[in-house]
Amino acid sequence: MNEQQDLFECTVCGNKKTTSATSEGNPICCGNEMQDISARTISDYKLQSLKQKSALIQFLQVLKKRVSKDCQYLDDKEVIDELIKKNTDLTLLLAKDLLEDEKKQDLSDVLINIMDDLWVSALVEYPKYAEQALSESKIAACKIFTDAAVLDRETIEALETILYHAEVGSETV
């Protein structure tokens, strides 16, 4: 019989440790209780899968437009349509699962993780990509990366508002 395992992380040194779910109390490391990150890790995996599937759907939609222009690829278009549908269905399930967690804190954690990723892309990645595109005289790509950074900042603002409402709402309940 497989025993349920919990994953713990030391908040001081970052060491990770697995223990059986039947163990009492959190393990100690560096003089402090280790933090249970089992649920967070699964949530992170779901979020990563959601991002990957969303990116794949976008790529498939662009590919579909390209294939649609040429009649010889009609069978490919049907395959692409089916892939888009299946990936969209899975993406919706992942998003629903992430948002249906019973604890408000879980929703806050998801929003914070998304905002953290957006900050990295808006402040580090997209500016670096835009600079590289500009250095290669790829003006259209530079504009896309710049616009993506602006959109990420706008998305962060909207998610911050949602996070605020979620936290205020949980305090008044």
Looking at the domain assignment, is residue 133 inside a domain? yes
Q: Which two tokens stand for residue 53?
A: 């599937």
Looking at the domain assignment, is residue 161 inside a domain? yes
Number of domains in the chain: 2
Residue 23's CATH number: 2.20.28
1-5, 90-94, 125-129: the lowest-pLDDT one: 1-5
List the domain range (segments joined by +) for residue 159: 106-172
Instruction: Give the per-residue pLDDT at 150.
Output: 96
Looking at the domain assignment, is residue 97 inside a domain? no
Collapsing DSSP states into helix, strand and coil, what is residue 129? helix
Exposure pattern of 7-32 as b/e (b: 16+ CB <10 Å)? bbbbeeeeeeeebeeeeeeeeebeee
* φ and ψ at residue 96, rounded to 5 degrees: -60, -45
CA distance 92 to 19: 32
Instruction: Give the per-residue pLDDT at 143.
Output: 95
pTM score of the predicted model: 0.55
pLDDT tens column, 107-128: 777 788 889 989 999 999 999 9
Looking at the domain assignment, is residue 123 inside a domain? yes
CA distance 37 to 74: 47
